[in-house]
Amino acid sequence: MYTLEYPFLDGLIHPAQLQAALDHAPQGCRIASFSTIAIPLRSETIEQAIAEGDSLAADMNRYATEGASAADISTLLLQSTAQEEWTAFARRLNALSEPVSFPYHQIRSRGKIIHSSSPSPENRFAALHKRNRICLETPPHLEHGLFGCDFGFVAHTQGQPSGHIHLFAGGGGGIYGGSPALAPRPASWLGLYTCEEAIRAAQQLLAINAEHGETENPRKRRLKSLIATRGLDWLGEQLRRAGFTPYCGQPPVFRTSGEWSGDGDTDELLIPAPSGAIADEPGYPLSTALREHLPRLRHRLRLTPQGHLRLHPEDRATARLLHARLHTSSSQTPLAIASVACRGLPICKRARAAASTIRKETAAVLDTLLAESGLAHEPISFRISGCPNGCSRPMFAELALVGRSEGIYDIFAGGNRQGSRTARLLRQALPLHALPGLLSPLLNRYATAKRQQPGLAFGDWIICHMEQEQPPGDA
């Protein structure tokens, strides 16, 4: 089967574009990343597929936005009255990244590219395909995993980008149990700067890394390796010598991270796409519902980082109609919505175990265990990675599976919902079928603790539990 992979700059898709995709493929399409959808083609030969895909792409190009941004931009900023200004600011952050050039659209067969088109070489697939990962966020909710990014810029408000902005640096996943330079590390807050100063400070950090970091070692060339080995005090002194004043002000406060915020007004605008599929499933006719209601939308939809759809606040009435049509509250749980998985086996050649292909069923198992423990609809952040490379950022989740071999996973726990704390190893080399036996007693104990402390999050509780269970001398 052939598919057209079509990107959306900044993850924004015009209703007419999604309508065209679903009209072309009534059986549905798939969100391949937060900025790309894969649309099945009808053709049976390569030549026919190329002609069909180019024709569909040309139809969708009529509604395409102009320009590309290197940064992952918060929906709150993209939907603010200063959207154009924040998008322009994000484009300036391109100078901090080393984007990998991708064609504007691709036609694939069984994962292989058979045709590509690049009418505008300066346009890039956004965000996920670059060496330095950058996000532009605003409190209180994070979408793009700020603490796992090389650079994070956090706006005070959704107003014009002319005042001050927080700078974070040095985040990234990694391999548990390795050297500090390779271990997962949450990005550090480096202070409050004017927008211009923040960009120059980030450029200076890259220069410092080029001079003092192990840039010739592909595994240690990131800022997180430099900070992990040299320390924040040393880095702060380097910035002061360059004329900056780091660590001024107070760090911003975040409540949640990911797709599910727990805020009714925000979550009401989220339309879940299970496993990224914009298709009809038993009891959840997403493709049909969208085709019925897309003509009502007045604004572009957002393809979210975890493969769902988010509507504009001015389209709230349509969001309510979609939820009513889909019976979302009874068919989609917070854990299922917020769970993340990389491609894993058999799609990724680096993977050691399955990930995306088991996400839905594994999330369902966890939801069942939560319900049995009296914790139905508990929004635990859950991630699966097919190997220690951790493309789904498992080390920042409250609960995560990291593949060792087919059917065998290391279990990590103890991250938090903000994504600002790294998880710890809970159990090594556990067969997937043994996961319920491991988690059921833990969730029962967590439920007991939560009844005494209603606001207690699983990640916070499991950290305390693991510390209490740790044998003397193993610290």
Average pLDDT rounded to a whole number, residues 94-120: 73
3-class DSSP state for residue 81? coil
| Strand pairing report for 134-137 and 151-155 | parallel
Share of the chain above pLDDT 70, in %: 93
Q: How many CB atoms are closer than 10 A to CB 92?
A: 15
The secondary structure of residue 74, as a DSSP letter, is P
Q: Which residue has the tokens 């994962």?
A: 111
Q: How many CB atoms are closer than 10 A to CB 31?
A: 23
Average pLDDT rounded to a whole number, residues 91-114: 75
Task: State the pTM of this model.
Answer: 0.89
CA dist 241 and 218 (Å) reads: 28
Spatial CB neighbours of 113, under 8 Å, sequence gap ≥ 6:
106, 107
CA dist 401 and 385 (Å) reads: 6
3-class DSSP state for residue 396? helix
CB 89 within 8 A of CB 73: no
Mean pLDDT of the chain: 88
| Nearest to 352, CA basis, from 392, 394, 403, 393 | 403
CA dist 419 and 471 (Å) reads: 27
Position 130 scores a pLDDT of 46
The amino acid that residue 300 corresponds to is R
Position 127 scores a pLDDT of 34
For residue range 112-141, what is the model confidence (pLDDT) as tens digits? Answer: 888 888 654 444 433 333 456 889 999 988
CA dist 248 and 214 (Å) reads: 29
For residue range 214-253, what is the model confidence (pLDDT) as tens digits? Answer: 878 777 888 999 999 999 999 999 999 999 999 999 999 9
Position 34 scores a pLDDT of 61
Position 121 scores a pLDDT of 41
DSSP 171-219: -B---TTS-TTTS-BPPEEEEEEEHHHHHHHHHHHHHHHHHHS-TTSTT
Question: Count of alpha carbons within 13 Å of 324, Cβ hemisphere only?
Answer: 8
Range scoring the smallest mean pLDDT among 22-31, 95-104, 118-127, 335-344: 118-127
Position 232 scores a pLDDT of 96
89 pLDDT exceeds 60? yes
The token pair that represents 312 in the structure block:
């504009």
3-class DSSP state for residue 75? helix
First-residue to last-residue Cα distance in the chain: 52
Share of the chain above pLDDT 90, in %: 59
Position 133 scores a pLDDT of 84
Range scoring the smallest mean pLDDT among 77-81, 116-120, 268-272, 446-450: 116-120
Position 263 scores a pLDDT of 85
Position 471 scores a pLDDT of 57
Position 392 scores a pLDDT of 87
Residue 162 vs residue 272, higher pLDDT: 272
Beta bridge partners of 281: 284
Q: Which residue has the tokens 């760090």?
A: 251
411 pLDDT exceeds 60? yes
Task: Place 69 in a pLDDT band, splitting at 50, 70 and 90.
Answer: low
CA dist 352 and 373 (Å) reads: 32
For residue range 388-404, what is the model confidence (pLDDT) as tens digits? Answer: 888 888 999 999 999 99
473 pLDDT exceeds 50? no
Task: Place 410 in a pLDDT band, splitting at 50, 70 and 90.
Answer: very high
Position 70 scores a pLDDT of 57
Range scoring the smallest mean pLDDT among 41-45, 55-59, 353-357, 468-472: 468-472
3-class DSSP state for residue 155? strand
Q: Which residue has the tokens 């079509």?
A: 6
Helix (H) and strand (E) counts in the chain: 15, 24
For residue range 183-200, what is the model confidence (pLDDT) as tens digits? Answer: 899 999 999 999 999 999
Q: Which domains does the chain have, with CATH numbers?
A: 335-469 (3.30.413.10)
Residue 155 vs residue 126, higher pLDDT: 155
38 pLDDT exceeds 50? yes
Task: Place 428 in a pLDDT band, splitting at 50, 70 and 90.
Answer: very high
Q: How many CB atoms are closer than 10 A to CB 354?
A: 24
